[in-house]
Amino acid sequence: MKSFAPRAIFFDLDGTLVDSVPDLAEAVRRMLVELGEPSRTDAEVATFVGKGIPTMVERALTVGRAPISPELLAQAITSFMRHYEDTNGKLTRAYPGVVEALPVLRARGLKMGVVTNKAEAFIGPLLDELGLGGFFDCLVGGDSLAKKKPDPEPLWHACQTVGVSREEALMVGDSGNDALCARRAGIPVLLMTYGYNEGVPVDTEDCDGLLSSFLELPPLLKTA
């Protein structure tokens, strides 16, 4: 795999930095109980993650089941947000190597940010709960801007926020959604093989390399 010389690295959150499915799935189940709908397993919810909370909630209610009304979807989203505020960070854990690698990247003088489709209100509290908040110079959520991934705007905004050009940036994610966002933004992208990717094999995605461990990232980086 080729090496990279970025001044800034932007990370997806769920499925890249952290395994958040246990908390997301618990909030989904509480929502479904509240609405009188059939439950979902962690494995099912894992395939629903990636395109933001509204899409995840809609998939939890409709995949393999009957369509729902816009009114029920709006009620479900409100319910999920309330329950996820309670579950966020309870069972979520950083993936192996993340805690060890982030200080190494910071020591090299790299700017770092999180660019995720998770609602902005949940990002900071989750990172702080895991002791990771201090490593990031910007946090861009799915509702931070008018558009979210795979639109390139979140990555461009992150570049502007930390003061780098897109030629000086690198994206690290776990899904085709991350890869497409980076391609549209004109930024190279590496994908982790352990993430979610909506049930699609990650090695089928258009990216610049695959990593099976977060600790594989620092050796690929050279001084810009």
Is 206 flagged in the annotation as binding? no
**Omega before residue 150 within 30° of 0, cis:** yes
Tokens of 127: 């990172």
Asked about 12 being catalytic, the answer comes back as: yes
What's the pLDDT score for residue 121?
A: 96
What's the pLDDT score for residue 3?
A: 84
Is 86 flagged in the annotation as binding? no
Catalytic residue (choose from 12, 19, 23, 208): 12
Could you tell me the pTM of the whole model?
A: 0.94
Taking only the tens of pLDDT, the chain with its 224 residues reads 788 999 999 999 999 999 999 999 999 999 999 999 999 999 999 999 999 999 999 999 999 999 999 999 999 999 999 999 999 999 999 999 999 999 999 999 999 999 999 999 999 999 999 999 999 999 999 999 999 999 999 999 999 999 999 999 999 999 999 999 999 999 999 999 999 998 899 999 999 999 999 999 999 998 65
Q: Across the beta sheet with 169-173, what order do the strands follow?
A: 138-140, 111-115, 8-11, 169-173, 189-192, 210-211
Write down all domains in the chain, each with its CATH number in brackets: 8-20+93-220 (3.40.50.1000), 21-87 (1.10.150)
What's the pLDDT score for residue 224?
A: 54
Is 14 flagged in the annotation as binding? yes
